[in-house]
Amino acid sequence: MTTPAPTLEAATTAVGAARKVVESALAHAQANPEIEQQQSFLYDLAHAAAAVSMCEVALTYANNGEDEERLALTFIGDEVAKLSSKIWAHPTMWGTEPTALDLARSFVESATNPSYVAQAAARTGRELLPDDLELVAATFERFATDRISPVAEHIHRHDADIPDDIISGVAELGSFGLSISSAYGGFAEGTADDHLAMVVATERLSRSSLGAGGSLITRPEILARALETGGTEAQKQSWLPGIASGETICAVAVTEPDVGSDVAQLGVTADKTNDGYLLNGVKTWCTFAGRANALMVLARTNPDRTAGHRGLSLLIAEKPSDTGHDFAHEQPGGGRIEGKAIPTLGYRGMHSFEVSFSDWLVPSANLIGEEEGLGRGFYLQMAGFENGRLQTAARAVGVMQAAYDEAHAYARERHVFGSPISDFQLTQVKLGRMASVVQICRQYSFRVARLMAEPSGGSMEAAMAKAYSCLAAEWVTREALQIHGGYGYAEEYPISRLFVDARVLSIFEGADETLSLKLIARQLLAKGLPASGHPDEENRR
C-alpha cells in the first residue's frame, strides 16, 4: 500500500501539536520546585524547544517551492517523531499524555517514508537571500574556494599555521568588521542585515575550512561586541577600527585548566597597581593566542572569592603576534607571558593555547569600561558570546554543507554491484535527511540573525541555533563519512577532516550541556517558548 505524500497543512498541524507539548512540559516544569535537579529532562526540553522553533521556520520555508517544501517537511517529520518518542517513553516527566502527538502520526508516517525522503537527496533548496547578500555569499565563496580550499588539507594534516595571505585576504574582504558599526571603521549600518552578512560570510568560509576559514571571524566578533556593550567611547575609538581592519588580531582567554563553564570559580587575578593591572595565572583553550596581539582576558579584579562572577572584569592584554606552536615574552618591568599549543585531533591551523601570565602588566585604559567595568566582566563576556554562538551555528552549517557536498559527489562516483551507490535507496534517504537538516539549520540561523538586530536581542534563539546545529553537524559529517565507507576513515578524502572538525562545535563557545541547562532551559522557564515567528517578507520569495 502506497503511503500518501505529506501535506503542508498536516505539517502545520503537527508543528502546532509539538509546540503545545513543549509548552505543557514547560508549565509542568515551572510548577516543580525541584526542577533544577532534573537535568536530563531539562536538557531534552531545551533541545525540543530548539527543534520546535526550527520547525516553525521550516513551515515558512516550505512555502517557497516544491524542493523547499520537501526539505522542510522531511525535517519536521523527523523532529516530531523524535519528540513523540520522548513523551511516549516518559509522559509523566513531560507533564502530558503518551497520546499527545497522535494527531500528528499520519503526517510523521508520510514525511518520514523512505520513498518521500529519498527524493530530497539532490534537492538542496534555495537559500532565499536578498540580492545584496547573494553578492556577499558569492564573494566569500569565491575567496574560500580560491585561497582556503587549496591549503585546507595541508594545514590540517601538518597542524600548520594559517598563511598570512588568508588572514590578510579575509581582512581585505571586511570580514572582521561585518558587525562593527561604520562609525568605528566597520561595515555595520544598524540594519537587520548586519548580523545576516556575518552569518553568510562565516558559512562560506567554513565550507572550505573550519579552522583556517570560518573561525577567523569569531574572536574579533566576541571582543568587538564586548567593547560595544560596555567599553568607553575612548576605548571604542581606540580598539574597534583596528579590529575591523584586521590590524588587531584577537583571542579570547576565559577558560582555565580546572574551571570550564563555571566562571564564578575562575582564579586568574588582575591586581591593581599604580601602572594598571598585573595578570597572574593560567588560561587554557585560548584559540589563536599565538597569532593574536590582543587577548580578551576574563580575570578576578576583586580578591574576595565570595564575590563569584561579580568579582570578574574584562581586560585587553596586548602581546606581540607569534607564529608556531609556542611563544614567550617579557616586559621591561619583569612581567612574563608564555603560551604552548595544545595538540588537538581537529580544528587545526589557529592552534589552541595554554597561556601563563606572571605579573603581565595591562594598562588601566585596557580594562573594558574602565572603573565602571569593574565587576562587569562576566556580563560583558556573555554579550560578546551571543554573537559567537550565532556565528558558531553558521560555522556548523558550513561544515555540514561541505560534508553533504562531499558525500553527494562521492555517492555518484562510487560504484558497487554495478551501480553508483547514489542509486540505492538507503544512500538517497541518508542524503535526503542530511540535505533537510543543513537547509533548515541555515534558515534558522538567518532568522536568528534578524532577531539579533531587534531590541530583544535573540539571545536564547542564538543559543538554540548553536545547540541544535552543532549536534546536527556531528550527525551529518558522520553520515557523510559512512557513505564514503573505508575511504572516509582514511585521510585521503576531506571528509575525515570535516568529521573531526565537527566534533569540537558542541564544546566551544559554550559546551552543549551547560548551554542547554544554564542558558536555554533557564530562559525557557523564565520566559516560556519564544513566540512563533517567521522571517520577514524580504527573506520569503
Q: What is the C-alpha to C-alpha distance for residues 446 and 448, in angstroms, rounded to an integer?
A: 6
> Is 250 within 8 Å of 368 (Cβ atoms)?
no
Q: Are 439 and 71 in contact (CB under 8 A)?
A: yes
Asked if residues 385 and 510 have their Cβ atoms less than 8 Å apart, the reply is yes
The dihedral through the CA atoms of 440, 442, 446, 448 has a sign that is positive
- Torsion sign (Cα): 502, 472, 459, 518: negative
* Catalytic choice (509, 513, 537, 538): 509
Residues 408 and 403: their CA atoms lie apart, in Å, by 8
Residue 420: strand, helix, or coil: strand
What number of CA atoms fall less than 13 Å from residue 418's CA on the CB side? 0
Within 355-424, residue ranges assigned H as helices are: 377-413
Q: Backbone phi, then psi, for 277, in 5-degree steps? A: -130, 140
Could you please report the per-residue DSSP string of 36-62? GG-HHHHHHHHHHHHHHHHHHHHHHHG
For 111, what's the count of Cα atoms within 13 Å in the CB-facing half-sphere? 30
Owner of C-alpha cell 516518559: 90
- Collapsing DSSP to helix, strand or coil, 178 comes out as coil
For residues 341 and 9, what is the distance between their CA atoms, to the nearest angstrom? 54
Catalytic residue list contains 509: yes
81-88 long-range contacts, CB within 8 A, separation 24+ = 81/108, 81/112, 82/51, 83/18, 83/21, 83/22, 83/48, 83/51, 83/52, 84/108, 86/44, 86/48, 87/21
Buried b (16+ CB within 10 A) or exposed e, 93-108: bbbbeeebbeebeebb
Grid cell in block for residue 492:
585521503
Q: Which residue has the cell 541555515?
A: 442
Cα–Cα distance for residue pair 169/497, rounded to 1 Å: 23
Cβ neighbours of residue 161 under 8 Å, at least 6 residues apart? 155, 291, 323, 324, 349, 351
Cα–Cα distance between 203 and 479 in angstroms, integer? 20
| Position 193, amino acid | D
**CA quadruple 371, 373, 376, 377: dihedral positive or negative?**
negative
Contact at 8 Å (CB) between 378 and 308? no
Q: How many CB atoms lie within 10 A of CB 409?
A: 11
Question: Which residues participate in catalysis according to the annotation?
Answer: 509
